[in-house]
A and B are shown apart, each in its own frame.
Chain A
C-alpha cells in the first residue's frame, strides 16, 4: 500500500535516510495507527516495569496504618488501600508481575506448542493422529479450569502461575503451528535435509521451526494479553500471585470489593491497568498479524 506523506512532520521524516529497523517501525506506525497505539501502551508498561523503583513514589509493600483508605490527593495520587499502601506505587510495581507472567507464560506455551505442532506435522500418520486426539482432550476443558487444576497441584506463586497459564496455551499453539507446518513439510528443503541424512530433531528444530515463526509469534503476542487476564483472574480468586506481591488482580481482591462504596479508587484503578495492558497487546497482536501474515488477514 502506497502512503503519501501528509504533514510537514511526515515529509521531513520521510526525507531522512533511515536504518532498516527505524524505517520498518515508522512504516508500521503510519499504516497501522491502532497497532502503533498498542505498541505505545506496551512501551509505557515496559518502561514502568523497568524503572518501577525510580518511578513509584512509595514502597509498594510499606503499610501506613495512619493513612488507611486515603482518597486520591496530593499525598497519594491514586489513594491508598486498606493497609495504607500507596495504590499508584502498587500499580507501577504490578506491571512487573503482569509482564513477567505474560512473557513467561507465552514463551513457554509457544515454545512447547511450537515444537509439538511441528513434530506432529513432520512425523504425520499415527503420531500426528495421537497428538491431535490428546490435544482434543485439552480443548474440552475451559482454560480457567485447566489453569486452576494446575495451580492446585503446584501451589500459588509467580513461577507456578506462569506454568499454570502456559499449560492451556500449549495445545492452542500446537494446533495453529501444525497447520502451517503441514505445508512446510512438503517444501523441497525439508526433503533435501532428509536426503542429506539429518536426524529428525535437527530437521524439526533447525529447518521447520524457523519457518513457522510468523504464526507462532502472532499467537504468542495474542496470548500475552490473555495470559495477563488469566493471571488477574487467578490472583483475584486468591489462587495466583500471593500477598504481599504487587499484582493487579490481587489488588482487586478482598478489601477492594468490601470497601468499594467508600473507597472506589481501590477497585477502579487496578482494573483500568489490566484493561489498558491487554488492550495494548491485543491491538499490537492484531496489527502484527495483518502485517506479517497476509494469509490470516481479516481485511
Chain B
C-alpha cells in the first residue's frame, strides 16, 4: 500500500510538468503579448517600438523561450510564482482572495449536489420504473441540460421581480461577515450544485439498483430486518462509494471551471481571473492559475484513489 501511494504521488510530477509545458506554449502562441495588450488598450495607439522593447526587456520577454521556461520552472520549484506581468504585484497576493472565493463556492456547490443526489438517487432506485423514478430521472437530466449561468440569470431575475431583492454583488469573506457572504454565494452554489447533482443522482440510482439485488440484502430481508435499517446499514454503505468518487472528481473541476457562473453573479473567482489574465496576455498569472487548478485536480484525484482503496477492502493495489 505504501509503495502504491508513493508511486501514485510520484506520477503526479510528470503530468504537472506536461501541464506546465502545454500552457507555457499555448500562451506563447496567442497573438500579442502583455506589452501590446497594455498599450493597445490606451486609445488604440501604439507606443514607439523602442519603448515597447524596453518594457519587454523589463519583463524578461526578450529572452529565448527555453530560458523563460527554465526561469519559471526554477521559481515553481521554490514555490515562487513570481509577479503578475500586468499589475506587477506578487501572484500569490492576486490569487489569494479569489482562491478563497472559488474554493468556498466549490465546497458549497458540492454540498448542494451531494444533498440532492443521494436521497434522489436512492428514491429513484427504490421506486424503479414508477412515475417517481421517471420524475427523478427527468429532473436530473434537465439539470444537466440547463446551463448553470442561465439558471443563475433566472434566479436573479425572479428574486428581483418577486421579492424586489438582489443578492449582494460585492464579495465579503466568510470570516468578515458570514451572513453577507452566504447571502451572496448560496445562489451560485444552488445553480451549480443542481447541475452537478445530476451525475451523482444517476450514479446513485444505478449502484443502488445493483446493490439491492445482492444476496446479503435478500438475507437481511429474509431475517426480517427493518427496511430502513437494511437501506442505511447494508445497501447505502456499499452503493455510495462510486457516487462519492465521481462527485469528488467533479468537485476538483469546480475550482477553475465556473467561469460563466462567476460572470453572471459578478464573482471575482479564479475563472474570471483566468479570462482576464489571458485577455491581458499576463503569462505569469495565467500560468500560475493553470498550475494551481491542475495541481488541485491531480491531488484530489490521488486522494480519491487512496481513499477508495482504504474504504473498500475488496480493492487491492499492486
Contact = CB atoms under 8 A, between A and B. Distances in A.
Interface of A: 34, 133-134, 136-138, 140-145, 148-150, 152-153, 225, 229, 232-233, 236-237, 239, 249, 252, 256-257, 260-261, 264, 267-268, 271, 274-279, 282-283, 286, 298-299
What bracket does the count of chain B residues touching chain A fall in?
35 or more
Given A152-B279, A153-B31, A236-B260, 11 more contacts: A34-B137, A144-B259, A145-B290, A148-B278, A149-B23, A236-B149, A252-B149, A256-B153, A267-B153, A268-B154, A271-B147
Does more than half of chain A's interface fall in helix, strand or loop, or is it mixed?
helix
Contact of B141 (A137, A149, A283): A283
B229 interface: no
Interface of B: 14-16, 18-19, 22-23, 26-27, 29-31, 134, 137-138, 141-142, 144-147, 149-150, 153-154, 156-157, 160-161, 202, 206, 209-210, 253, 256-257, 259-260, 263-264, 271, 274-275, 278-279, 290, 293-294, 297-298
Contacts of B257: 142-145
A236 B263 contact: yes
Taking each of B138, B141, B256, B297, which has the highest tally of chain A beta carbons within 10 Å of its own beta carbon?
A: B141
Which 6 residue pairs spanning A and B have beta carbons closest together? Answer: A142-B257, A271-B150, A137-B18, A279-B145, A278-B145, A140-B294
A237 B260 contact: yes
A267 B149 CA distance: 11
24 contacts: A137-B19, A137-B22, A140-B293, A141-B290, A144-B257, A145-B290, A148-B259, A148-B275, A149-B23, A236-B263, A252-B150, A261-B161, A267-B150, A267-B153, A267-B157, A268-B154, A271-B150, A274-B147, A275-B145, A275-B146, A275-B147, A276-B145, A278-B144, A278-B145
Nearest to B206: A298
Nearest to B141: A282
A276 B290 CA distance: 33
A133 B209 contact: no
A152 B30 contact: yes
A145 B253 CA distance: 10
A132 to B, nearest CB: 10
Contacts of B145: 225, 229, 274-279, 282
A261 B147 contact: no
A286 B160 contact: no
Contacts of B19: 137, 140-141
A74 to B, nearest CB: 24
Taking each of A149, A277, A279, which has the highest tally of chain B beta carbons within 10 Å of its own beta carbon?
A: A149
A233 B206 CA distance: 30
A264 B161 contact: yes
